[in-house]
Amino acid sequence: MKSFLESRLSKGALFILATFLGFALLSFIVGKLLVFLPEPIGSRSDLFVQGAKVTLLITLYSAVLGIVIGTLLGLAKGSPRRWLSYPAFAYIWLIRGTPVLVQILFVFYALPVLIPQLQLDEFWAAAIALGLNVGAYNAEVIRAGIQAVPLGQTEAARSLGLSHTKTMRWIVLPQAIRIVVPPLVNNIVALLKDSSLASAIGLLELTLAGNRISSETFLPVPVLSTVALLYLIYTTAITVVTHVLERTMRLKAHV
């Protein structure tokens, strides 16, 4: 049932998989190239690679979490039911009104005090804090995307007998996705950069790795330039992939 629609989903999944493989390949090549750079980069390339790997993984996990949270919150905030929209409104207000660094510190240091079972390591504390953060920003984007789908689409679907949920699932969300991809990617690019804040709780990601090498070698200019360059490579790669994605979606349906 619905296999003709699900084939689209599998194409989407394939695209995401290809993107991950592309990023893994990119990281591998970047790692190999770093070895050839002059001192002090070449000899410490393993630490750069290690840091970049943590940065990418934390971005990946928090982006996935952020999109799930953003979709649920976006639907909730746009819902006519107050018991859904009010909590969503409060969550977005709280997260967007406080610094992400404070949120990371809170999840790592304060949450275990409040709930002793929630003893997270640096990686998961940062991934969850960043995911919760970007989720609030994504929610606004997704709510706006859903509202941008013309009302006539919902009316046509409902008049065919589709329930509210099925209308969302098969008619509204697939069209909203095309609208929300560019701003969501902006959020993910911001997330990749914000992941550097995880260095504050001692997570050895790209920024902390660079900072350590810089203070060991007393050569901040080449080391921090390399750190910045690596961020730039990854944010550019994300942007390029998105442009390709946008183009293919537009070519297919001219929406």
Partner 1 sequence: MSENLLSVRALHKSYGSFHVLKGIDLEVAAGEVICVVGPSGSGKSSFIRSINQLEPYQSGEIRLHGELIDPRKNVDKLRQEIGMVFQSFNLFPHLTVLENLMLAPTCVKNLSKRQAEAKAIELLTRVNIVEQKDKYPSKLSGGQQQRVAIARALAMEPKIMLFDEPTSALDPEMISEVLNVMKDLAKSGMTMLVVTHEMGFAREVADRVIFMDGGLIVEEATPEEFFREPKHPRSKLFLSQILQR
Minimum CB separation of residue 14 from partner 1 in Å reads 18
Using CB under 8 A, count the residues that bind partner 1: 27
Phi, psi of 252 (to 5 degrees): -70, -45
Which segment (3-11, 14-22, 182-190, 224-232) binds partner 1 by CB under 8 A? Answer: 3-11
Which residue is listed with tokens 């991934």?
127
Q: What is the dihedral of CA 91, 96, 101, 105, to 10 degrees?
A: -10
| Per-residue binder mask for partner 1 (CB under 8 A), 124-163, x = binder | --------------------------x-xx-xxxxxxxxx
Any contact of residue 15 with partner 1 (CB under 8 A)? Answer: no
Q: Enter the tokens of residue 139.
A: 């929610």
Report whether 172 contacts 149 (CB < 8 A): yes
Q: Long-range contacts for 243-248 (Cβ within 8 Å, ≥24 apart)?
A: 245/15, 245/181, 246/181, 246/182
User: What is the total residue count of the chain?
Assistant: 255
Residue 255, classed as helix, strand or coil, is coil
> Which is nearer to partner 1, 34 or 172 (by Cβ)?
172
**Nearer CB in complex with partner 1: 42/150:** 150
Closest CA relative to residue 195, chosen from 240, 134, 120 = 134
User: At its nearest, how many Å lie between partner 1 and the CB of residue 240?
Assistant: 24
**CB of 33: closest distance to partner 1 in angstroms?**
41
Taking each helix axis from N to C end, the angle separating 220-253 and 45-77, rounded to the nearest 10 degrees, works out to 40
The distance of closest approach from Cβ of residue 142 to partner 1 in the complex, given in angstroms and rounded to an integer, is 17
Among residue numbers 171 through 200, which ones bind partner 1 (CB under 8 A)?
Answer: 171, 174-175, 178
Binding flag, residue 18, partner 1 (CB under 8 A): no
The rounded distance, in Å, linking the Cα atoms of 211 and 195 is 15
Mind spelling out the 3-state secondary structure of 35-74?
A: CCCCCCCHHHHHHHHHHHHHHHHHHHHHHHHHHHHHHHHH
- 98: DSSP letter: S
Q: By CB under 8 A, which span of 38-46, 49-57, 124-132, 166-174 interacts with partner 1?
A: 166-174
The correct pick among 11, 96, 166, 247 for binding partner 1 (CB under 8 A) is 166
Q: Work out how close the CB of 251 gets to partner 1 at its nearest, in angstroms, rounded to a whole number.
A: 11
Q: How far is the CB of 148 from partner 1 (least distance, A)?
A: 13
CB of 177 to partner 1, least distance (A): 9
The binding site for partner 1 (CB under 8 A) comprises 1-5, 150, 152-153, 155-163, 166, 170-171, 174-175, 178, 252-255
